[in-house]
Amino acid sequence: MSLRKVDTYIALEILVPSVIGLGIFTFILISGRALKLADLVISKGVPVIEIGQTLLYLLPSFMVFTLPLSFLLGVLLGLGRMSADSETVALRASGVSLYGILKPVTILAGGATLMTAFLTLYLLPPSQKAFRDHLFDMAQTKVAIGIEPGVFNSDYQGLTLLADKVEPESGVLNQVFISDQRNPQRSSVITARNGQILSDAFTRQLVLRLKQGAIYRLGAQNQDQFQVVRFTHYDIQLHNGQSTAAQKRYQKTKELPLVELLRRFQNTNDPQFMAEWHKRFALPFCPLVMAFVGIPLALRQQRSGKGAGYTVALLTFLMYYLLLSLGMTMAESGRIPPALALWSPNGIFLAAGIFLFRRAAEEQVLFPVPLWLSRLTDKIHLRRRKNS
């Protein structure tokens, strides 16, 4: 068998489980978010197609992590099966060393690295912004649907709203009654002939504009007094789970393009912007790092089966993700330089991968057991045999 055929065979053994794993992991994450968004379909009457569009905007943020994880899984399952069937032994006997196996794995890792880089550098920021805009558009166009006529609505923070009639097409509320508990020390009751929910595209806030009404509340100085304030127009800011989340997302650095990140860091010297900058460049190298870690671990599995491959992949990537999250936290707080904090996980896993890979290439035990622990294990096994 020629070396080109060997490389193609190894690449296919890794590529097939990687693609399947990418689909499975991405589907699991999408399903988890879809269950949360299902409430919008059930209680708010949002069309299913709009929920699907929302999940589509979230897809790049899922694939940034599922792509490296699925590649590691593909290496573990593909090479693990070859090792279990003694195919790697046959390749070594025919003159293909472990460094020869590294070649097709590195090529696939390079492809996964480029795909992850495209996601983090170009596709993820606009998709995050599009997700925020779409979620806010659903909130402003469908929020009136959740208000049923003659039913008290408490979806908005500190407000209990009742409307005698709701016009679905225009979103106009007729004969509005509101119990305002936003200030517990000075609660009030608001009535209005009609009202309409509007939106501010710049501040990402929903506003209930009331017309021809009055505010009834106790006096600020004397609780025995009763104040009545009549108005022609009166605006109330609405804060529910969707609008608040949209405002928070509006400020997140992960939505900013690279040029804007650098500009804001230069103007404010805020480490959060530089931490996000380094994260976008460091994360794409994860598949390349995982290649060095995955090869020796896959050859060590022997006949452990696919279950062991899934477990090792999840645990390994979980360790990497925890280190990356810790580095992000430390970098944003200014305790550690962002470059050091965000590139350390790659450095640690790359050093560990090279160490394990060299031991596997020299056919040494990957994780040498201390002599005292080996003797203790032998004694335990010997006692069990005597007892049995």
pLDDT in tens, 48-59: 787 888 889 999
**In degrees rounded to 5, what are phi and psi of residue 169?**
-70, -45
The pLDDT value recorded for residue 245 is: 40
Nearest to 143 by CA among 156, 132, 152: 156
The pLDDT value recorded for residue 304 is: 53
Residue 298 and residue 374 share a domain: yes
Report the mean per-residue pLDDT for the chain: 82
**Mean pLDDT lowest for which of 193-197, 276-280, 284-288, 335-339?**
193-197
Residue 262 and residue 234 share a domain: no
Average pLDDT over residues 214-243: 75
Provide the domain limits for residue 163.
156-239
The pLDDT value recorded for residue 305 is: 53
- Whether the model clears a pTM of 0.85, i.e. scores above it, the answer is no
pLDDT in tens, 22-42: 999 999 988 888 877 776 666
The pLDDT value recorded for residue 370 is: 55
Q: Predicted confidence band at 247 (pLDDT cuts at 50, 70, 90)? A: very low
Residue 350 and residue 225 share a domain: no
Side chain identity, residue 291 = A
**Mean pLDDT lowest for which of 3-12, 20-29, 164-173?**
164-173
Q: Which residue(s) pair with 226 in the sheet? A: 218
Is the pLDDT at 159 greater than 80? The verdict is yes
* Domain limit, last residue, from 182, 216, 239: 239
Q: Which residue(s) pair with 228 in the sheet? A: 216
305-313 contacts: CB < 8 A, separation 24 or more? 306/77, 306/80, 308/80, 309/73, 309/76, 309/77, 309/80, 310/73, 312/76, 313/21, 313/69, 313/72, 313/73, 313/76
Buried b (16+ CB within 10 A) or exposed e, 244-263: eebeebeeebebbeeeebee
The pLDDT value recorded for residue 277 is: 93
> Is residue 386, in this structure, part of any structural domain at all?
no
> Is residue 340, in this structure, part of any structural domain at all?
yes
* Domain limit, last residue, from 216, 239, 262: 239
The answer to whether 14 and 108 are in contact (CB under 8 A) is: yes
Through-space distance between the first and last CA atoms of the chain, rounded to whole angstroms: 50
> Is residue 228, in this structure, part of any structural domain at all?
yes
Residue 307 and residue 193 share a domain: no
Contacts of 117 (CB under 8 A, 6+ apart): 281, 284
> Is residue 145, in this structure, part of any structural domain at all?
no
Residue 227 and residue 182 share a domain: yes
Highest mean pLDDT among 152-166, 300-314, 327-341: 327-341
The pLDDT value recorded for residue 118 is: 95
9, 36, 107, 134 from 74: Cα distances, Å: 13, 30, 14, 35
Is the pLDDT at 241 greater than 50? The verdict is no
Buried b (16+ CB within 10 A) or exposed e, 306-332: eebbeebbeebbeebbebbeebbebbb
Q: How far apart are CA 223 and CA 33, in angstroms?
A: 48
Q: Predicted confidence band at 334 (pLDDT cuts at 50, 70, 90)? A: confident
For a pLDDT cut of 70, what percent of the chain falls above it? 80
**Mean pLDDT lowest for which of 111-125, 200-214, 242-256?**
242-256
Q: Predicted confidence band at 299 (pLDDT cuts at 50, 70, 90)? A: confident
For a pLDDT cut of 90, what percent of the chain falls above it? 35
**Mean pLDDT lowest for which of 60-69, 123-132, 370-379?**
370-379
Residue 119 and residue 258 share a domain: yes
Total number of domains in the chain: 2
Is the pLDDT at 86 greater than 70? The verdict is yes
The pLDDT value recorded for residue 117 is: 95
* Domain limit, last residue, from 211, 239, 267: 239
**Mean pLDDT lowest for which of 84-88, 177-181, 202-206, 340-344?**
202-206
Average pLDDT over residues 230-241: 79
Residue 254 and residue 227 share a domain: no
Q: Is the model more confident about 314 or about 167?
A: 314
Q: Is the model more confident about 225 or about 257?
A: 257
Side chain identity, residue 182 = R
Residue 175 and residue 62 share a domain: no
Contacts of 12 (CB under 8 A, 6+ apart): none
Contacts of 216 (CB under 8 A, 6+ apart): 188, 189, 190, 191, 226, 227, 228
Q: Is the model more confident about 221 or about 56?
A: 56
> Is residue 338, in this structure, part of any structural domain at all?
yes
Residue 234 and residue 98 share a domain: no
> Is residue 341, in this structure, part of any structural domain at all?
yes
Q: Predicted confidence band at 250 (pLDDT cuts at 50, 70, 90)? A: very low
The answer to whether 55 and 36 are in contact (CB under 8 A) is: no
Average pLDDT over residues 143-159: 74
pLDDT in tens, 260-270: 888 888 888 88
* Radius of gyration of the chain, Cα coordinates, nearest whole angstrom: 29
Residue 271 and residue 225 share a domain: no
Residue 234 and residue 256 share a domain: no
Is the pLDDT at 337 greater than 90? The verdict is yes
Torsion angle of C-alpha atoms 241, 244, 246, 249, degrees rounded to 10: -120
Residue 368 per-residue DSSP state: P
> Is residue 99, in this structure, part of any structural domain at all?
yes
Is the pLDDT at 343 greater than 70? The verdict is yes
Edge-to-edge strand list for the sheet holding 226-238: 159-167, 172-180, 188-200, 205-218, 226-238
